[in-house]
A = this chain, B = another copy of it.
Amino acid sequence: MIKVTIFNEFVHEKYDENVKKIYPNGMHVAIADFLRSDEISVRTVTLDDPECGLTQDVLEDTDVLIWWGHVAHDRVPDEVARRVQESVLKGMGFVVLHSGHHSKPFRYLMGTTCNVNWREDGDFCRLWICDPSHPIVAGLDRYIEVPHEEMYTEPFGIPEPDKLLMIGWYDSGEVFRSGCIYQRGHGKIFYFQPGHETYPTYYIPDVQTVIRNAVKWAAPTYRTPDLPCPWVPRITPKEG
């Protein structure tokens, strides 16, 4: 059983009628609904929870953390973001959705701005798969389509990915590194571009497949309880 925690800032869904209509219970619930299965158990947390719901206990009980945030990155306390970063370094999987590229934990882990060029204009997006053999794209065709998305384009201020899995094509003329794979410490990280709040992106079966696969891929086989920097004794005594 893979234990997933979904963090959603859960802001737009409460004040924007348009978003509320699409995700009446919040995006976290929509994502939880398609993930929950015999193999995956799901917990959801939001900004409304104390410490964003991301206490040490919760993180240690989480195999893969999914992150959605857009307008309220600053309301995640630095301390919570550091805790998430450390949990990833210890082995927790981390699936970062859409504007989560600008979330504190992702930026802490990347070390770069994670800035993009962007435009919110409902453009059509087709995500091309560069490596069909990767488990995250198992069961998919050559590409997946999202009828309307916020447009993100290059340059994307990230370190060169360990593997670039997907490239987004926009009918407005842009491209984006939309599916990026990293390892940091012992944790596996997947950034996946789709999921603007004003479109029903997380109801698209192919998008759900990617996230479900990513959860399975990112689930740790190895974790450390702490992140030591130890003094180590000599292997053999010094001569002379």
List A residues at the B interface (Cβ < 8 Å): 85, 89, 91, 102, 108-113, 115-119, 121, 126, 128-135, 138, 142, 153-157, 159-160, 162-164, 167-175, 177, 182-186, 220-222, 227-236, 238
Contact partner of A235 (CB less than 8 A), chosen from B113, B115, B173, is B173
Q: Given contacts A115-B229, A133-B91, A169-B174, is CB(A184)–CB(B159) below 8 Å? A: yes
Q: Given contacts A113-B89, A113-B185, A159-B184, is CB(A175)–CB(B231) below 8 Å? A: no
* Complex copy number for this chain: 4
* Alpha-carbon gap, A226 to B121, bound state (A): 26
User: Which B-chain residue is minimally distant from A181 (CB atoms)?
Assistant: B160
Q: Given contacts A121-B238, A138-B221, A167-B175, is CB(A159)–CB(B159) below 8 Å? A: yes
* Alpha-carbon gap, A128 to B155, bound state (A): 8
* Alpha-carbon gap, A175 to B126, bound state (A): 9
Name 4 extra pairs, CB < 8 A, besides A112-B185, A113-B185, A133-B220: A102-B229, A111-B184, A133-B186, A163-B183
Contacting pair B183 A173 (CB below 8 A): no
* Alpha-carbon gap, A116 to B227, bound state (A): 10
* Alpha-carbon gap, A175 to B237, bound state (A): 17
Contacting pair A162 B164 (CB below 8 A): no
Contact partner of A227 (CB less than 8 A), chosen from B110, B115, B182, B220, is B115
| 26 pairs of residues in contact across A and B, judged by CB atoms under 8 Å | A91-B133, A108-B111, A110-B111, A111-B111, A112-B184, A113-B185, A121-B238, A128-B153, A130-B154, A131-B155, A133-B221, A138-B221, A138-B222, A142-B154, A142-B155, A153-B232, A159-B159, A159-B182, A159-B184, A160-B183, A164-B177, A167-B175, A169-B170, A169-B173, A172-B235, A172-B238
